[in-house]
Amino acid sequence: MRAVRLSVVTAAATAAALAAVTGCTEKSDAKGGDAIQVTAADSTCDTSAKSVPAGQVTLKIENKGSKATEVEIVFPDDRIVSEKENIGPGTKYTLTAEVKAGSYEIACRPGMKGHGVRQKLTVTGGKVAKRDPRLDKAVAAYREYAQTQADETLPKAEAFAKAIKAGDIEAAKKEFATSRLGWERTEPVAESFGDIDPKVDVREDGLEDGQDPAKDWTGWHRLEKSLWQDKKIGDREKELADQLVKDLTDWKERVGKAEITPTSMANGAKELLDEVATGKVTGEEDRYSHTDLSDFKGNVEGAQEAYELLKPVAKENDAALTTELDKQFTALNTLLDKYRTDKTSYDFTSYDKVGDADRKELSDAVNALAEPLSKLAAAVVK
Amino acid sequence: MTDTTEATEATSEAADGRAPTRRSLIGWGGAGLALGAAAAGGAVAMARTGNDVDPTAAETGAAVAFHGTHQAGIATAVQDRLHFAAFDVKTDDRAEFVQLLKDWTEAARRITAGHTVGEGAYGGLAEAPPDDTGEALGLKPSRLTLTIGFGPSLFDKFGLKDQRPEALVDLPKFPGDNLEQARSNGDLCIQACADDPQVAVHAIRNLARIGFGKVAIRWSQLGFGKTSSTTPDAQTPRNLMGFKDGTRNIAGTETDRLKKFVWVGEGDGPDWMAGGSYLVARRIRMNIETWDRTSLQEQEDVFGRDKGEGAPVGKAKERDKPFLKAMKPDAHVRLAHPDSNDGATILRRGYSFTDGTDGLGRLEAGLFFLAYQRDVRKGFIPVQRNLSRLDALNEYIQHVSSAVFAVPPGVRDKDDWWGRALFSKEA
């Protein structure tokens, strides 16, 4: 009987939670459960409401035009939430969909082609984001950090490029890992631009079928392979060194425009640990140079920076979580220090010299930190 | 209330025989579905009783009681699938470890009853990963049992040295052992057995997740096709060598033999182990390909039973009492028999495994041997000492991992937790 009893209790608790949410919900011009009348014609698309509460949304569609039409609810980026195709002239159809809060459009596509005629639809509900000045400050500070990392990376990348262009393999090898640190610390921000990461940080196995490594593979890891495996610098490598600096300059100029929220900061910290867990602990990231531990450290530092900025708010909401995170960050950093003699240097043990048992220990420490870190976002927005 | 679960001396608030499905109990949808499922389940159970049909627990996917004098998963009728995990402790904070044991117990109580972990797999905060990983949603409890054990190395931690049972010895090296350390031992183990492999894997995965930072999985093993039954009326399962295995195993209903050979008695010491047992786990790799090229005569000689019926040499039926002297001196059954080992008797609960193939194209397969006993020194050790020296089967097998654990008694009720008696002692 326990299952039943529990259900009732949780249902009641959920009801209370729902009521609390309703208290701070935006106004909608249609009530929950009310259908939106959609009158489609050959060149018009009239809707009876412009906003509805989140949840089940019902469209009562009537095609008054002369052509078959298609009616869709679409996201701002044109992804379709729900659709009904082939609604004949003079016929009616009821379309229902589960829609979360956000901005949408209702599209009528007479003749079932083209952009169609569109009406805005705002779906309201959920918590209205309350602005916490401390979080605004944290975001601003993190943006500054991300900018500083990009700014400081440029001269290092230029030094790396310079060594390559001088044909100096040994000098270039020395600059390789340090040129990556700022990137590794703030990778989720850089990756949010989408197009830069594949140019500067892709590995050979990241290429698709049909892409030619000789032409399409660019960035750090392509040069890493030349320096450590092929042991030669040719004209192509010199070109790629310039290209790397150019792409990183693009990154530097765009950091200021990155969309950063407290949630994306917290999740970005977790993603940095994901990077460690999937790429660095396995030794896949820097497979030619084996400088994985330097990238590893950069990822952890970047995650810790985001965490420290969010900590005052997170601690208020979940003190046990921040205590655990403090402990696990310290544990992981202490463990990493075993792999360098000078704590101010990023000169770590070559990862091919790190045995299986030690890699397991690193992996356990990453899991120990990443698991509570995955709860940071919730603790920040609570 | 109809009783479609197996009879156990324990009661569980969740094991009501109705086989609740693993729906999240959070949210309106979840609540409605759970209510509906419970009501429907009750109706089905009643209909079955009305028809005088008594489906086995496996068919109904029922829950096995989590609470009891002994942990479930030992004398419990053997389920079809296994996920066994050994853990190393990562924290040196005793209070934190005790909290983990409590959190694990609570999660185990829920999962074995067919519920989700914590607040479920969906419907929670969108910004947070769900408490439950979700792959067992909609699946029945599937007779899932979760059984915890404490390895010798745990007693080097948390001031437990004086509590280490004398019977929890480090196993000696046996001739032919080729043990891989990374796949052996462990501070703790959790044995998850269920009739649905996804239910067993879900359990280990979620317990491991709760444990991150406090413990880390050292190694784990999946198993299928139970190789030893504790239900003698059912057909005896076969191991990967094609022979019936466990014909004379201790049955879950043989209270006297369980008491004599499996459960730690009140006076055995230490007190916290009373009602517990000792577990030996060995990964036994089989040389499948060479075995398959062995003549039928030799195969039957090696075991001391015939391949079809499973009858001992010179007998007609599987369950006829073996006449050991009729078997070859190096026959497996003869050497393993209690009569050849001063009466040493163990409860076997092993599973077959096939972890794909090795780099040489050979099946990476064998027996994941699990044996429960009252005292390892009077159970596995004498039997294995005998087998490792003489057994004709040794030509076809190799022990590649080994572990031993003290399995504490059962969790009594909702306020009890795994290891309470041990950790309530003064450090």
Average pLDDT, whole number, for chain A? Answer: 87
The answer to whether residues A163 and A46 belong to one domain is no
Distance between CA atoms of B228 and B348, rounded to whole angstroms? 6
pLDDT at site B5: 36
Task: Provide the pLDDT for residue A30.
Answer: 62
A7/B14 CB distance under 8 A: no
Range picked from A24-33, A201-210, B258-267 for highest mean pLDDT: B258-267
- For chain A, the domain total comes to 2
A1 pLDDT band, cuts 50/70/90, is: very low
**Do the domain assignments include residue A70?**
yes
- What are A337-365's pLDDT values in tens digits? 999 999 999 999 999 999 999 999 999 99
Question: Are A114 and A189 found together in one domain?
Answer: no
Q: Do B128 and A375 touch (CB under 8 A)?
A: yes
For residue A49, give the CATH number of its domain: 2.60.40.420
Comparing A124-138, A163-177, A208-222, A244-258, the range with the smallest average pLDDT is A124-138
- pLDDT tens digits for A310-340? 999 999 999 999 999 999 999 999 999 999 9
Domain boundary among A84, A99, A124: A124
**Is A329 domain-assigned?**
yes
Residues A117 and A257 reside in one and the same domain: no
Task: Give the pLDDT confidence score for residue A259 in this predicted structure.
Answer: 82
Beta-carbon count within 10 A of A115 CB: 8
* Interface touch B28/A2, C-beta < 8 Å: no
Q: ipTM above 0.85? A: no
A65 is a domain residue? yes
Shared domain check, A138 and A117: no
Same domain for A120 and A263: no
CB pairs under 8 A between A and B: 80
Please state at what angle helix A133-165 crosses helix A235-254, rounded to 10 degrees. 160
Any chain A CB within 8 A of the CB of B92? no
- Flag whether A38 is in a domain: yes
Does A18 map to a domain?
A: no
Q: How confident is the model at residue A17 (pLDDT cuts 50, 70, 90)?
A: very low
Residues of A in contact with B18 (CB under 8 A): 3
Domain that holds residue A107: 26-124
Q: Kindly state whether residue A215 falls inside one of the protein's structural domains.
A: no
In this prediction, residue A33 carries a pLDDT of: 64
Q: Is residue A338 part of a domain?
A: yes
Are residue A33 and residue A107 in the same domain, yes or no? yes
B2 reaches A (C-beta below 8 A): no
Asked if residue A181 and residue A36 are part of one domain, the reply reads no
Q: Within an 8 Å CB–CB cutoff, is residue A10 touching chain B?
A: yes
Same domain? A284 vs A263: yes
Phi, psi of B186 (to 5 degrees): 135, 145
Q: Name the residue type at position A243.
A: Q
Nearest beta carbon to residue A377 from set B35, B127, B216: B127
Do B228 and B78 contact (CB within 8 A), yes or no? yes
Regarding whether A171 and A51 lie in a shared domain, the answer is no
Query: Is A146 found in the same domain as A81?
Result: no
CA atoms within 13 A on the CB side of B245: 23
Weakest mean pLDDT among A12-21, A146-155, A159-168, A271-280: A12-21
Q: How confident is the model at residue A209 (pLDDT cuts 50, 70, 90)?
A: confident
Query: What is the rounded distance in angstroms from the CA atom of residue B120 to the CA atom of residue B137?
Result: 9
Q: For residue A377, what is the domain's CATH number?
A: 1.20.1420.20
- The answer to whether A10 contacts B115, with C-beta atoms less than 8 Å apart, is no
What are phi and psi for residue B60, nearest 5 degrees?
A: -85, -10
Whether pTM exceeds 0.95: no
Which residue stretches of chain B have pLDDT < 70? Answer: 1-59, 227, 426-427
Contacts of A7 in chain B (CB under 8 A): 25, 30-31, 34-35
pLDDT at A211: 86
Q: What percent of chain A has pLDDT over 90?
A: 68
What is the model's pLDDT at position A162?
97
Q: Cα separation of B225 and B244, whole Å?
A: 12
Subunit contact A378:B125, Cβ cutoff 8 A: yes
Same domain? A300 vs A355: yes
Hey, are the CB atoms on A4 and B38 less than 8 Å from each other?
yes
The answer to whether residues A257 and A324 belong to one domain is yes
